[in-house]
């Protein structure tokens, strides 16, 4: 299982890194478009779409492609990101508060629309972040990845008090605090690195630091890590309500695409609302 997981991770990195490193945004946009279509199919399956699941996944991919061809992936009004942030904060709190039993009571059409819209929005946010330069988009990815890694090891070592046992029994408060600590350290180190002048573009962390000072940066990182946890818990809630362990088996050893991007769903739109690339 571990060997399979590592092999899949290497394949994913081999696809993602060249798309991130190339100057143009369209290779990354097309690669993530395929991922969003797959995630849309998974979301539809988890929310009782039945035989329409494939069509909904393809439809999401087509919507992303049309957005790209129309040139709407750059210059997106910040009101879009502020709206997405409000919906994630309020809607995520509401959904988690209702619990696993409450999610199936939401009308199926609304459940499907919410997920597909969230996937389209995060794709749009990631493509705009890519246009802002490698340093900018990589700093946001690293915030989520660092929080996830620190939460995993911190939770395993000290995770006695569970965060939301009815939704995701493996998550603990210790994991959350370790994730926050790791992300804060990375953010502060990243700002220091940017200050050396070696980076051509500003990172997300540097932009926040310039506007809100170091204290503001720490608070923003704490908020974003908390929202990444909301995204993770929300997907876990949906899977548990559907009686599924993973969103699919598309990524051997990792589950499905949704299982890999759930924490990114709220983070990228919120990051663009707080400090868009210059």
3-class SS letters over 67-91: HHHCCCCCCCCHHHHHHHHHHHHHH
The total number of structural domains in the chain stands at: 1
Strands 162-164 and 168-172: antiparallel
Residue 251, beta-bridge partner list: 255
Per-residue pLDDT band at 1 (split at 50, 70, 90): low
Of 118, 98, 102, nearest to 43 (Cα)? 118
DSSP, residue by residue, 193-206: HHHTT--SS--HHH
Tell me how far apart the 2 most distant CA atoms of the chain are, in Å: 55
- Give the Cα separation of 273 and 83 in Å (integer): 9
Query: Domain limits at 238?
Result: 2-274
* pLDDT value for 207: 96
Closest CA to 179 of 274, 263, 247: 263
pLDDT of residue 154 exceeding 60: yes
**pLDDT over threshold 70, residue 2:** no
Query: In a 3-state reduction of DSSP, which class is residue 175?
Result: helix
pLDDT of residue 11: 86
Helix (H) or strand (E) holding 35: helix 26-46
Given a contact cutoff of 8 angstroms between Cβ atoms, the answer to whether 32 and 16 are in contact is no
Alpha carbon distance 188, 89 (integer Å):
25
Q: DSSP strand E in the chain: where?
A: 162-164, 168-172
pLDDT at 67 over 80: yes
* pTM listed for this prediction: 0.95
How confident is the model at residue 10, as a pLDDT? Answer: 85
Is the backbone of residue 36 left (phi > 0), alpha (psi -120 to 50) or beta? alpha
Residue 227 has pLDDT above 80, yes or no: yes
From the list 139, 73, 72, the residue with the least C-alpha distance to 274 is 139
Q: What's the CA gap between 135 and 269, in Å, rounded?
A: 17
Q: Which pLDDT score is estimated for 148?
A: 94
Question: What is the DSSP secondary structure assignment for residue 255, as one 8-state letter?
Answer: B
Helices and strands counted in the chain (H then E): 10, 2
Q: Is the pLDDT of residue 127 over 60?
A: yes
Neighbours of 10 (CB within 10 A): 10
DSSP class of 170? E
Measured in whole angstroms, how far is the alpha carbon of residue 90 from the centre of its chain?
A: 17
In the chain, the percentage of residues whose pLDDT exceeds 70 is 99
- pLDDT tens-digit map of 6-63: 788 888 888 898 999 898 889 999 999 999 999 999 999 999 999 999 999 999 999 9
Residue 156 confidence (pLDDT) above 60:
yes
């Amino acid at each position: 299982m571990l060997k399979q997981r590592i092999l899949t991770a290497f394949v994913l990195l081999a696809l993602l890194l060249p798309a991130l490193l190339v100057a143009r945004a369209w290779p990354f946009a097309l690669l993530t478009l395929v991922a969003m279509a797959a995630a849309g199919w998974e979301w539809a399956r988890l929310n009782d779409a039945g035989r329409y699941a494939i069509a909904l996944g393809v439809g999401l991919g087509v919507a992303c492609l049309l957005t790209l061809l129309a040139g709407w992936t750059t210059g997106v009004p910040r009101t879009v990101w502020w709206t997405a942030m409000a919906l994630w904060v309020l809607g995520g709190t509401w959904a988690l508060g209702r619990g696993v039993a409450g999610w199936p009571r939401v009308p199926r059409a609304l459940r499907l629309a919410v997920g597909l819209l969230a996937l389209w929005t995060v794709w749009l946010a990631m493509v705009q972040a890519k246009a802002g330069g490698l340093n900018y988009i990589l700093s946001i990815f690293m915030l989520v990845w660092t929080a996830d890694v620190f939460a995993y090891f911190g939770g395993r070592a000290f995770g006695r008090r569970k965060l939301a046992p009815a939704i995701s029994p493996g998550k603990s408060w210790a994991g959350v605090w370790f994730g926050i600590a790791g992300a804060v350290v990375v953010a502060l180190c990243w700002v220091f690195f940017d200050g050396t002048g070696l980076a051509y573009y500003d990172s997300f962390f540097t932009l926040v630091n310039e506007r809100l000072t170091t204290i503001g940066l720490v608070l923003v990182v704490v908020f974003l890590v908390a929202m990444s946890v909301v995204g993770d818990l929300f997907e876990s809630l949906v899977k548990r309500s559907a009686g599924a362990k993973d969103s699919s088996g598309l990524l051997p050893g990792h589950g499905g695409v949704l299982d890999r991007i759930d924490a990114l769903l709220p983070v990228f739109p919120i990051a663009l609302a707080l400090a868009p690339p210059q």
